Structure 1
Amino acid sequence: MKTFRYMAPLVVGVMVSVAGCSSSDDAEEQAALANMGAQQMYQQAQQNMQAGNFSAASNTLSALDSRYPFGPLSHQVQLDLIYSYYKSGKIDETVATIDRFIRLNPNHSDIDYAFYMRGLVNMEADNNLFQELMNIDRSDRDPAKSRQAFDDFRRLIQQYPDSKYAADARKRMMFIKNRLASYEIAIAKFYMRREAYVAAANRGRYVIEHFPDSDQVQRALEIMVSSYEELGLTELRDNAMKTLKLNYPDSRYIG
Structure 2
Amino acid sequence: MTATGSYNRGWAGHRLLAAAGLVGLSLVLGACQNGDPDIDISNYAASLDPADQLYNEGLANMQAGNMTEASRKFEAITKQHPYSEYGRKAMVMQTFVQYRQGQHQEAINSGKRFVNLYPNDPDAAYAQYIVGLAYFKQIPAVTRDQRPSARAIEAMNEVVERYPDSEYVDDAQAKIRYARDQLAGKEMQIGRYYLERREYVAAANRFRTVVETYPNTRQVEEALARLVETYYAMGLTSEAQTAAAVLGHNFPDSQWYADSYKLLQTGGLEPRENKGSWVSRAGKRLIGA
Q: Normalization by structure 1: what TM-score? A: 0.78
Structure 1 window deviating more from structure 2 (48-57 vs 89-98): it is: 48-57
User: Aligned partners of 1:143 and 1:159: how far apart in 2?
Assistant: 25
Per-residue CA distance 1:197-231 (angstroms, 9 max, x = gap): 11111111111111111111111011111111221
In structure 2, the gaps of 5 or more residues are 1-46, 263-289
User: Aligned partners of 1:106 and 1:246: how far apart in 2?
Assistant: 46
Mapping 1:61-210, distance limit 5 Å: 61-127=74-140, 138-210=141-213
Residue in 2 aligned with 1:220?
223
1:42 alignment partner AA? Y
Structure 1 window deviating more from structure 2 (191-200 vs 79-88): it is: 191-200
Residue in 2 aligned with 1:21?
none
Deviation at 1:194, TM superposition (A): 2.1
1:162 alignment partner AA? D
2:73 alignment partner AA? T
Select the structure that is richer in helix. 1
User: Aligned partners of 2:115 and 2:216: how far apart in 1?
Assistant: 32
Cα RMSD, aligned residues only: 1.7
Residue in 2 aligned with 1:47?
60
Per-residue CA distance 1:2-45 (angstroms, 9 max, x = gap): xxxxxxxxxxxxxxxxxxxxxxxxxxxxxxxx874433322221
Query: Which one of 62, 70, 84 corresponds to residue 57 of structure 1?
Result: 70
Structure 1 pair 218–72 and aligned structure 2 pair: CA distance change class (3 A): closer
2:109 alignment partner AA? A
Please state whether the residue corresponding to 1:126 is helix, strand or coil: coil
Deviation at 1:238, TM superposition (A): 1.5
Residue in 2 aligned with 1:232?
235
Structure 1 window deviating more from structure 2 (55-64 vs 199-208): it is: 55-64
Residue in 1 aligned with 2:278?
none
Residue in 2 aligned with 1:20?
none
User: Aligned partners of 1:71 and 1:153: how far apart in 2?
Assistant: 28
Query: Which one of 238, 251, 261 corresponds to residue 248 of structure 1?
Result: 251
Per-residue CA distance 1:163-222 (angstroms, 9 max, x = gap): 111111112212222211111111111111222111111111111111111111111011
User: Aligned partners of 1:108 and 1:40: how far apart in 2?
Assistant: 22
Q: Percent identity among equivalent residues?
A: 32
Deviation at 1:54, TM superposition (A): 1.4
Contact 1:55 1:85 (8 Å CA) reproduced:
no
1:45 alignment partner AA? G
Determine which structure has more spread, i.e. the larger CA radius of gyration.
Answer: 2
Q: Which runs of 4+ in 1 moved over 4 A?
A: none
User: Aligned partners of 2:104 and 2:161: how far apart in 1?
Assistant: 25
2:231 alignment partner AA? Y
1:83 alignment partner AA? F
In structure 1, the gaps of 5 or more residues are 1-33, 128-137
User: Aligned partners of 1:217 and 1:197: how far apart in 2?
Assistant: 18
Contact 2:48 2:80 (8 Å CA) reproduced:
no
User: Aligned partners of 1:41 and 1:110: how far apart in 2?
Assistant: 19
User: Aligned partners of 1:38 and 1:115: how far apart in 2?
Assistant: 24
Task: Give the paired residue count.
Answer: 212
User: Aligned partners of 2:86 and 2:249: how far apart in 1?
Assistant: 59
User: Aligned partners of 2:191 and 2:114: how far apart in 1?
Assistant: 40
User: Aligned partners of 2:124 and 2:130: how far apart in 1?
Assistant: 10
User: Aligned partners of 1:116 and 1:46: how far apart in 2?
Assistant: 20
